């Protein structure tokens, strides 16, 4: 039986994903008719991105699942027209890319690399030696698939890693915390703080004046998750006062980041253009094909979103 799969993630991504999806469906033994133009009442599965053509799911009466291409679902999870199961993307390529970006910037701050790259003024300063990784305390806020992977990678480099999540986790080698007291415990020890939380009403502005004040003076912040996790005015004030030593930011409330935004010119901010990681078509296509296979077999979907939790 042919399964109708609607690609609703934009024509640019269509060129990137068409061949990998066809190959993944074939490998999974699925007879899939992948198209940009299936009539709504004939669609079995939707491959979705929030900047694609669909904002009303009501006509898709036959659809068994909406398969998001992004790890984040905050732009779709609250849709009142979406009654079908929603699955977020957990992709090995995205995970590997995030590990590489996070560990690279944590190591950069840990080793003080910026001072050497930007401070070549002819003065030989041989007394500034970084601590060993085992003596550097790193906090990771968010211990989902990406947060856990990054926390484990940092622990493998022997950093002293503590993590926080909404629900209590148990991860070997990571001091896991939850709840308000747990958040305070991670913040109070984090010399480098990595944000990998989903964006929900509970996590927006989680990094505000109060949480920033709890961190060790001069701590570093690395955010490859979502821009609205941070109260921008509070962070700028903390940077100006020296409470926060540096912030490396890959995500922002408004993207592209406007040229006039103070982050661009701030000496203690590094801006990267939302490049921390990206879903890779080949590996993401296999995740989508597996979820279609599961749907057709009556099995539970991978990475189905908890609508109440928001992720």
The residues carrying an active-site annotation are: 226, 274
Integer Cα distance of 306 and 77 in angstroms: 9
Put the strands of the sheet holding 244-249 in their side by side order: 175-178, 160-165, 137-141, 192-195, 219-223, 244-249, 269-271
Give the number of other CB atoms < 10 A from CB of residue 300: 9
Integer Cα distance of 111 and 106 in angstroms: 9
> Tokens 């806020």 sit at which residue?
141
Q: Calculate ∠ Cα 234-111-150, nearest 5°.
A: 70
What does the DSSP 8-state code read for residue 218?
T
Nearest one of 270, 212, 221 to 241, comparing CA atoms: 212
Integer Cα distance of 64 and 68 in angstroms: 13
Residues in the chain: 311
DSSP reduced 3-state for 187: helix
CA atoms in the 13 A half-sphere facing the CB of 11: 1
- The secondary structure of 12-36 as a DSSP string is HHHHHHHHHHHHHHHHTT--EEEES
| DSSP H stretches of helix in the chain | 11-27, 92-111, 113-118, 145-156, 179-189, 209-214, 232-241, 262-265, 281-297
Rounded to the nearest 10 degrees, the angle between the axes of helix 92-111 and helix 281-297 is 140
């Amino acid at each position: 039986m042919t399964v109708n799969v609607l690609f609703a993630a934009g024509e640019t991504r269509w060129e990137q994903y068409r061949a990998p999806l066809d190959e993944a469906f074939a490998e999974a033994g699925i007879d899939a008719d992948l198209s940009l133009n299936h009539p709504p009442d004939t669609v079995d599965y939707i491959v979705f991105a929030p900047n694609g053509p669909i904002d009303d799911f009501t006509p898709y009466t036959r659809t068994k699942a909406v398969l998001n291409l992004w790890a984040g679902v905050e732009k779709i999870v609250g849709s009142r027209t979406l009654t079908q199961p929603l699955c977020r993307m957990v992709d090995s390529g995205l995970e590997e890319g995030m590990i590489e970006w996070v560990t690279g910037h944590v190591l950069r701050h840990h080793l003080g690399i910026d001072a050497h790259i930007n401070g070549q003024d002819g003065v030989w300063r041989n007394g500034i030696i970084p601590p060993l990784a085992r003596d550097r305390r790193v906090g990771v806020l968010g211990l989902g698939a990406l947060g856990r992977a990054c926390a484990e990678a940092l622990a493998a480099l022997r950093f002293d890693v503590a993590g926080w999540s909404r629900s209590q986790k148990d991860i070997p080698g990571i001091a896991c915390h939850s709840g308000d007291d747990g958040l305070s415990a991670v913040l109070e020890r984090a010399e480098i703080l990595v944000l990998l939380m989903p964006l929900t009403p509970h996590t927006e502005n989680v990094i505000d004046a109060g949480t920033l004040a709890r961190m060790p003076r001069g701590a570093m912040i690395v955010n490859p998750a979502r821009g609205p996790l941070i109260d921008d005015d509070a962070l700028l004030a903390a940077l100006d006062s020296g409470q926060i030593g540096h912030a490396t930011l890959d995500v922002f409330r408004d993207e592209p980041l406007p040229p006039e935004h103070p982050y661009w010119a701030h000496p203690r901010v590094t801006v990267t253009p939302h490049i921390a990681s990206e879903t890779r078509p080949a590996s993401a296509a296999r995740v989508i094909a597996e979820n279609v296979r599961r749907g057709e077999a009556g099995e539970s979907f991978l990475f189905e979103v908890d609508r109440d939790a928001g992720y």
